[in-house]
Amino acid sequence: MLPDKLRRLVQLLARLPGVGEKTAQRFALFLVQQGDYATALGSELALLASSIGTCERCRGVSEIDAEGRFICHICRDTRRDSHLLCVVARIQDQIAIERSGAMRGRYFVLGRLLSPLDGIGPTDLPLTSLGQRIADEGVEEVIVATPPSVDGEATALLLAQEIEKLGVLVSRIASGVPHGGDLEFADQVTLGRAISQRRGISTTR
C-alpha cells in the first residue's frame, strides 16, 4: 500500500540496530512529513562514509584529517599518557569510559569478543595490531576493559596471556556492585565478585 520509494526507505531504516518494520515505518512517515529534516539528514549521511572512519591507530571512530588520514583526536592528543592503553570491545564502551573522565591513557578497540558459540576464535581478534601498537608506543600497562560477561572474561584472559608475553603489565577493570546499586537487587555473580574482590579500607589513608 506504500509507494515503492517509501517501502524501500522503510526496508533501509529497518536495518538500523533494534529497529523493526513498525518503527521503520514510523520513522519513514515522520521523514516524509518533515521534508527539510529528511534532506538535512540525507546530506549528512551521504557524506558520512567519506569523512568519518576507523582510527588507524586505536580502531575507534575518527574524522578525516587534512592529509586524508583517519587518526582520532585521542590518538593525536599529546597530553595523553602513552604508556597506558585501555582495551575495549566496542566504540560505545570507549565513549562511556571517556565520559567518566577516569582514563588518562589511550584506547584500543577490539571490535569483537571471543565467542566460541558464534565461531569467533583468537585468530578473529586484532591481536597483531594490538601487539604492534603496544610496541610502537612503549605501552607499560594495558587495562582490559572488556565487559564482565562470559565472552568478555574469556577475551580478557586471552589478552592477558598474549600481552604478558610482551613483558607488559596487564590489569582488569574492577567488577562489583555498581555505585548507587541496591544489594537486594544485585545478581548472585555480581555479589559474589563484590565479596571475593573486596578491598581493605583504612580510616587513616
- Residue 124 DSSP label: G
User: What binding mask, one character per residue, do residues 24-43 give for a copy of itself by CB under 8 A, x or -?
Assistant: -xxx-xxxxx-xxxxxxxxx
Cell numbers for 185: 537487587
Residue 9 engages a copy of itself in binding (rule: CB under 8 A): yes
DSSP code, position 142 = E
46: contact with a copy of itself by CB under 8 A: yes
Instruction: Cell 592528543: give the residue.
Output: 77
What is the total count of residues that contact a copy of itself (CB under 8 A)? 53
Grid cell at residue 201: 579500607
d(CA 143, CA 169) in angstroms, rounded, equals 9
Residue from 182, 127, 183, 115 nearest 159 by CA: 127
Tell me the CA distances in angstroms from 199 to 5, 48, 176, 202, one per residue in order. 60, 46, 11, 10
- Report in angstroms how near the CB of residue 138 gets to a copy of itself at its nearest: 24
CB of 184 to a copy of itself, least distance (A): 26
Site string for a copy of itself, 66-105 (x = CB under 8 A): ------xxx----------------xx--x--xx------
Residues binding a copy of itself (CB under 8 A): 1-6, 8-9, 12-13, 15-18, 23, 25-27, 29-33, 35-49, 51-54, 61-63, 72-74, 91-92, 95, 98-99
